A and B are shown apart, each in its own frame.
Chain A
């Protein structure tokens, strides 16, 4: 009998050698006349263990990692095909504490299957939600999503059900479902991994949204920095069309739904939903003023659902298992699970999906193992380039929308980036302003010009020029940007800047650090 070996085809795993490992495993097996079947699964999210090689045994999937190309022949020598002992042996994958401590809902299948096997997708619970949805009325589906408490995972945290209801109630000859897969936030990669590892979940979630509100066309706006995800999603869409999951009759129902991937062109601000619509329409990605809401007049002026990848990918589980099961997780108004991403200077980086309300401490230390460098942790940026910098005395904060806001930050897309004590927060604040200047769509002056002024002012503080006066000027600039910006690009850039000043005042005293 052929032994099944899983070796990820995730782009991050490939970036550190997964393809070489797979090729060498195949070669060695031939050389040793061993009967193996290599399945290229998605990553299981433990990027610190990549390349994670798993062997299917009677005890379950046994993990070895991180495997370097040069380890392959010794794995065979150790009889890893039967779970043999080896310095890289990690035991049964599901029992590794890092995985066992998680609660995977949205990421239920991620890393378990061949991403493009619709058969495996179904045998792991796929399409249950969509099959149910096509028997339900639009308002029943929307009510279920509303009851689950699911909120937008792209950053703003708006309740998904309420948005869907607006689109459902809008009268129009054409409606759209658009998935925001721009994932511009640094320190985040959960959209990418989901698309690469389990693309049918996103397709299913979008199809459920379409069935619910009566949309017949969908678009996924996927950033150009993710070539592997683009290819994989396009392949998955073709397979889903061939199998009748997409097309003129979704799973044999009266609903039609077609899906197209459109690729971004390297603009961060195009992740903002109205700029994304402009870009999808082929124009400059400039922010639109609201109202009208995209739910009323969105893509090509038609009612449009816009949701993040993780929001849409959570929907199949919500419909399949019911709103109550989803809402039983989490805390306060932050219900369900969040797919956190541990990044930067971190020993055990990757995907942690858990119920809202886990502490930052648990994420950073229990899961993350502290810094990669082994030096003291000094700063944590949560929520991407527009998110706040916390210091190491703030690890007690509960990771949910409300608690983070109360602590002066925001959850954003769930990215958690660690910095050790070599970080200079004045430099980080300056970068936040420079990034805003680079990415501003140009519509409002405070964002366009204030950010450039802001970066210059921080540079003066760093060089020790008129420090007290320049700090006041910087705070003024921040206030003008917060109050005078049309969107969160200019409006939230002051968050990393001011949090850096508040939580690390010692870095803003003039005179370069060290």
Chain B
């Protein structure tokens, strides 16, 4: 997936429709991430200013949620469900095999491809489940998720 590079002007445009939202901080961070693939450090001050909250509050929200990232998004993201129903049909082995094939460890940050642990995609009757660049994969195999 490719995203435009960070720009404060574009970020300001992304935030402007959110002016009247009640409780805007998380939504603002999500909107920035959706646009740029991650939350640039300058977004914290911008959001604080735009919505009249403290930088500490914005930073607190940014660091709390697993979804929010402060490093640019990788070109490719392979999320593998490591929760119980997927464990029951070999997600531990799947993770190990994908790590081996790509030569990367789960939950490391990379520019080209990242393998990330996920905790349930609601596809637990067709486990193991994975999500590759936003597309859900059922009965996941190394071939399917690295294709």
Which A residues are closer than 8 A to B by beta carbons?
Answer: 11-12, 14-16, 47-48, 50, 183-189, 191-193, 224-228, 262-268, 279-286, 300, 341-346, 349-350, 372-373, 381, 385, 415, 417-420, 423, 428, 431, 435
Contacts and interface: CB of A to CB of B under 8 A. Distances in A.
B22 interface: yes
B118 interface: yes
Nearest to B28: A282
Interface string B2-19: 000000000000000000
Given A184-B120, A268-B119, A428-B84, A189 B26 contact: no
Nearest to A419: B88
B138 A423 contact: no
Contact of A346 (B22, B125, B136): B125
B137 A185 contact: no
A282 B67 contact: no
A282 B122 contact: no
Contacts of A341: 124-125
Contacts of A14: 136
A27 B41 CA distance: 49
A183 B30 CA distance: 20
B64 A285 contact: yes
Contacts of B24: 282
Nearest to B88: A344
A68 to B, nearest CB: 12
Contacts, number: 149
Contacts of B137: 15
Contacts of B25: 282-283
B23 interface: yes
Contact of A11 (B26, B29, B84, B123): B123
Interface residues of B, number: 44
B67 to A, nearest CB: 4
A15 B138 contact: yes
Nearest to A226: B122
A435 B85 CA distance: 14
A315 B86 CA distance: 32
A12 B89 CA distance: 16
A344 B60 contact: no
A495 B135 CA distance: 34
Given A300-B23, A385-B83, A417-B85, A186 B139 contact: no
A11 B66 CA distance: 23
Nearest to A279: B26
B126 A50 contact: yes
Interface string B101-143: 0000000000000000011111111110101001111110000
B124 A186 contact: yes
Nearest to A43: B125
Given A285-B65, A372-B89, A344 B124 contact: yes
Given A283-B25, A343-B85, A385-B83, A189 B122 contact: yes
Given A187-B84, A265-B29, A281-B22, 10 more contacts: A11-B122, A12-B122, A15-B126, A184-B120, A226-B122, A267-B66, A280-B23, A344-B88, A344-B127, A423-B88
Given A12-B138, A14-B136, A417-B84, A349 B67 contact: no
Contacts of A193: 122
B27 interface: yes
B122 A188 contact: yes
B84 A431 contact: yes
Contacts of B64: 267, 284-286
A12 B136 contact: yes
Contacts of B136: 11-12, 14-15, 228
Given A263-B30, A267-B66, A284 B61 contact: yes
24 contacts: A12-B138, A15-B126, A15-B137, A15-B138, A48-B125, A183-B122, A186-B84, A187-B83, A189-B124, A225-B121, A264-B67, A265-B68, A266-B65, A282-B25, A282-B26, A283-B26, A300-B22, A343-B85, A343-B125, A345-B89, A385-B83, A417-B84, A417-B124, A431-B84
Interface in B78-96: 81, 83-89
Contact of A265 (B26, B120, B122): B26
Contacts of A227: 134
Contacts of A423: 88
Given A184-B120, A225-B120, A265 B126 contact: no
Contacts of A187: 83-85, 120, 124
